Amino acid sequence: MNAISPNRRPMNVRLATPRGFCAGVDRAIQIVERAIEKFGAPVYVRHEIVHNKHVVERLKVMGAVFVKELDECPDDRPVVFSAHGVPKSVPAAAGARQMLYLDATCPLVSKVHVEAERHHAAGRHILLIGHAGHPEVVGTMGQLPDGAITLVETVEDAQTVQRPGNAPLAYATQTTLSMDDTAEILSVLKARFPELPDPHKEDICYATTNRQEAVKGLADGSDLVLVVGSPNSSNSVRLVEVALRAGAADARLVDDASHVDWSWFDGVSTVGITAGASAPEPLIQALIEAIRERFDVTMIDDPGERETVTFKLPRVLA
């Protein structure tokens, strides 16, 4: 870390709107918090409730126990399924054990699950655009029998994927992808398979779309863009990629202010700040304060989409 200079030079700090928590993340965290309040600790959570280490650590202190698989949970304590969704086999196993389980799957992810089931029921084979191993992709593929979905990760995959037999095709997407990358993959798929239908609504969620549009505006005129978010957060990583593609001279992902290398600010007069959908606002404010300690800051709030979406909690917690 560089020493703090007593002669602080000017620094414009542009703050993206919207940034940070989305409605699905907020709902998932509330489910864990309220479950602890109602049922007492410990409450078990299968996988990280959202992909942010600060959120996970705070919930651990409150009494949440994070596990990788359901068999690590006792029968007599509540278990919460993460916002990314789970394969159908997971609630089925919990039900067979008569466990109390709470599903914190984002409703927009659940919408993709419903669409996948609808396509399967109509006899269509599904091409799923997403990243292998991501919990959301694992959950979506786990809604249907093996072989019902083919994963398409890249343009190269789109150029070579084969239709299984004579099956009609449909597609779905992971909700946290880059809009531009997804559009490129879809363009290739639809050129090869013209019968692919347009989606009723884009699977990429409103929060991902809004944050990517905001960071494109932020990148224009910013010498450096800092994205607050954890490395395993897909939507946060995509924001860095989108910023660079949109023309930012430099863009970095930081878990929090302690991860900033202040040499990144050499030659920088304007820094843009945003955050992934699972990053809490206090982390953003702490980053701004760390910049204030080192520079003479002028704050600029970028205009952007104002989000008013909210999702209901499960009835047992409402």
Question: Exposure pattern of 256-265 as b/e (b: 16+ CB <10 Å)?
Answer: bbeebeeebb
Is the pTM higher than 0.75?
yes
Q: Compute the distance between CA of residue 310 and CA of residue 24 in angstroms, rounded to an integer.
A: 8
Matching fold, domains 10-21+206-301 and 107-192:
yes
Q: Compute the distance between CA of residue 207 and CA of residue 75 in angstroms, rounded to an integer.
A: 35
CATH architecture of the domain 10-21+206-301 equals 3-Layer(aba) Sandwich (3.40)
Residue spans of the domains in the chain: they are: 10-21+206-301, 23-103, 107-192
User: In this predicted model, what pLDDT tens digit does every residue of 91-107 receive, in sequence order?
Assistant: 999 999 999 999 999 99
Positive or negative torsion for Cα 199, 204, 209, 215 = negative
User: In this predicted model, what pLDDT tens digit does every residue of 265-300 receive, in sequence order?
Assistant: 999 999 999 999 999 999 999 999 999 999 999 999
CATH number assigned to the domain covering 23-103 = 3.40.50.11270
Task: Find the mean pLDDT for residues 114-128.
Answer: 96
Picking from 147, 192, 196, 194, the residue whose alpha carbon sits closest to that of residue 173 is 196
Identify the pLDDT of residue 6.
58
Whether 105 and 128 have beta carbons less than 8 Å apart is answered as no
Query: Which residues carry out catalysis?
Result: 136
- CA angle (133, 135, 139) in 5-degree steps: 105
For residue 280, say if its preceding peptide bond is cis, omega within 30 degrees of 0: no
107-192: CATH class: alpha beta
User: In this predicted model, what pLDDT tens digit does every residue of 173-185 receive, in sequence order?
Assistant: 999 999 999 999 9
Identify the pLDDT of residue 8.
87
For residue 168, say if its preceding peptide bond is cis, omega within 30 degrees of 0: no
Q: Is the pLDDT of residue 48 over 50?
A: yes
User: In this predicted model, what pLDDT tens digit does every residue of 180-226 receive, in sequence order?
Assistant: 999 999 999 999 999 997 655 567 899 999 999 999 999 999 999 99
Picking from 52, 56, 26, the residue whose alpha carbon sits closest to that of residue 232 is 52
